[in-house]
Amino acid sequence: MTEALHQVTILGATGSIGQSTLDVLSRHPEKFALFAVSANTHVDKMLEICQQHTPRYAVMADIASAEILSEKLGAKSQTTVLGGAAALQQIASDDEVDSVMAAIVGAVGLMPTLAAVRAGKHVLLANKEALVMAGDLFMQEVRQHNALLLPIDSEHNAIFQCLPADYPQGLKSKGVTRILLTGSGGPFRQLPLDQFDAITPEQAIAHPNWSMGPKISVDSATMMNKGLELIEACFLFDVPQQDVEIVLHPQSIIHSMVAYNDGSVLAQMGQPDMRTPIANALGWPERIVSGVEPLNLIEVSQLNFAAADEKRFPCLRLARQAIQRGGSCMAILNAANEVAVQSFLAHKIAFTRIAEIIESTMNMVESHRADNLQIILQDDQAARACATALTEQ
């Protein structure tokens, strides 16, 4: 008897993570079937995906884009096209789906990702913003609905691989003393500070090691990405922020480490290619081929480490502050960052304004206990309004 194929939904299929996921899936047609894919407005890319991979459903969050896609695919297509936010939640929670790759960028990914969690799916989490803005609630829902949360962010996937399988029982009881979260430091690790004002979006999105979407590339350049990842690690692994150390590692070969009470430090290494964590999560608990080139350590030859400088990267300080303040402050930090990054990418504000706008927004918008989603979404909106006004000053 042949085993039933594992049905996969990809939220954010046209993006960088979405494309890497399709690449890994296409290497294992005997294991996986593509149930559904989603995108926002990128109709041409979606058309290509539908023609190449024939998913059962294709959802465009933007309804007008769904109509255009439907016309382009034609009546004979095997793919049903749907549009709008409710359809995103439907393909994330459908009874037939086994795994959901959550790879929408930003806070808009929260509701469809939560829908997958609430349906008890295997949730492959790339969309770190969802966890940053609603971490406590998100993790509660994971436990309540018995969802399996598999981290895709390379650092968190590395930590996951370096922890024992029963780590949710508590890291302390497993002998873990510290998590070492590595980051390359991005393109401006050594740029003289007096040149930061003149940084252009084109320079900021040119990451030295990773090829990623524009928002996370800017986050890597400000190191807000590491700040968001710090918050992500605290929620995913239930550790206090003092136990997470950020370590600069410019080669991006070690993807993070876990230190134990006997002095052991376990590291996960590999090429900087997201297909490794994606394959790890798709295949878990088995290992499957990802298409990533083997690592040649002789060629790499050096692994360097340094401390992260909060003066150069004020976003790191702001992320730690948001954790300390707690509640919806992390949603406020995230929302202000999304607004400021969009504005920088649109050439409206200088690079150094990003951190300033986040800090001012955190000081101006009151945060609350994040007991329910409504409060979080309200504070997210208030932070967006505040940050938008600041970008226009």
Q: Residue 14's binding partner, choosing from Mg ion, ligand NAD, none, with beta-carbon cut-off 5 to 8 A by kind?
A: ligand NAD
Q: Nearer to ligand NAD by C-beta: 26 or 261?
A: 26
- Please count the residues of this chain forming the interface with Mg ion, following the rule CB under 5 A: 3
- 40 lines the binding site for ligand NAD (CB under 6 A): yes
- 335 lines the binding site for ligand NAD (CB under 6 A): no
CA dist list (Å): 5 to 8, 29, 96? 9, 8, 11
The CB-of-264 to ligand NAD minimum distance in angstroms stands at 27
Question: From CA 80, how far away is CA 34, in angstroms rounded?
Answer: 13
Considering only residues 320-339, where is the footprint of Mg ion by CB under 5 A?
none
Question: From CA 351, how far away is CA 80, in angstroms rounded?
Answer: 42
Burial class (CB in 10 A: 0-12, 13-18, 19+), 287: exposed
Per-residue contact track with Mg ion, 111 to 150, x per CB under 5 A?
A: ----------------------------------------
What is the DSSP secondary-structure string of 75-92? TT-SSEEEESHHHHHHHH
Q: Helix, strand, or coil here: 125?
A: strand
Q: Residue 105's binding partner, choosing from ligand NAD, Mg ion, none, with beta-carbon cut-off 5 to 8 A by kind?
A: ligand NAD
**Structural contact between residues 304 and 251, judged by C-beta atoms closer than 8 angstroms:** yes
- 22 lines the binding site for ligand NAD (CB under 6 A): no
**Structural contact between residues 154 and 276, judged by C-beta atoms closer than 8 angstroms:** yes
- 103 lines the binding site for ligand NAD (CB under 6 A): yes
Per-residue contact track with ligand NAD, 43 to 62, x per CB under 6 A?
A: ------------------x-
* Stretch touching ligand NAD by CB under 6 A, among 13-21, 138-146, 190-198, 364-372: 13-21
- 39 lines the binding site for ligand NAD (CB under 6 A): yes
Question: From CA 11, how far away is CA 24, in angstroms rounded?
Answer: 15
Q: Nearer to Mg ion by C-beta: 232 or 380?
A: 232
Q: Nearer to ligand NAD by C-beta: 12 or 186?
A: 12
Q: Helix, strand, or coil here: 50?
A: helix
**Structural contact between residues 348 and 391, judged by C-beta atoms closer than 8 angstroms:** yes
DSSP 54: -
Structure token pair of residue 393: 């000053």
* Stretch touching ligand NAD by CB under 6 A, among 73-81, 126-134, 176-184, 324-332: 126-134
- 69 lines the binding site for ligand NAD (CB under 6 A): no
Considering only residues 348-377, where is the footprint of ligand NAD by CB under 6 A?
none
- Please count the residues of this chain forming the interface with ligand NAD, following the rule CB under 6 A: 26
The CB-of-374 to ligand NAD minimum distance in angstroms stands at 20
Q: Which residues contact 227 (CB under 8 A, 6 or more apart)?
A: 315, 316, 318, 319, 320, 322, 333
Query: Partners of 248 in the beta sheet?
Result: 183, 306
- 224 lines the binding site for ligand NAD (CB under 6 A): no
Q: Which residues contact 86 (CB under 8 A, 6 or more apart)?
A: none
Question: From CA 11, how far away is CA 20, in angstroms rounded?
Answer: 13
The CB-of-263 to Mg ion minimum distance in angstroms stands at 27
Which spans of this chain sit near ligand NAD (rule: CB under 6 A)? 12-18, 39-40, 42, 61, 103-105, 108, 126-129, 153, 210, 212-213, 215-216, 274
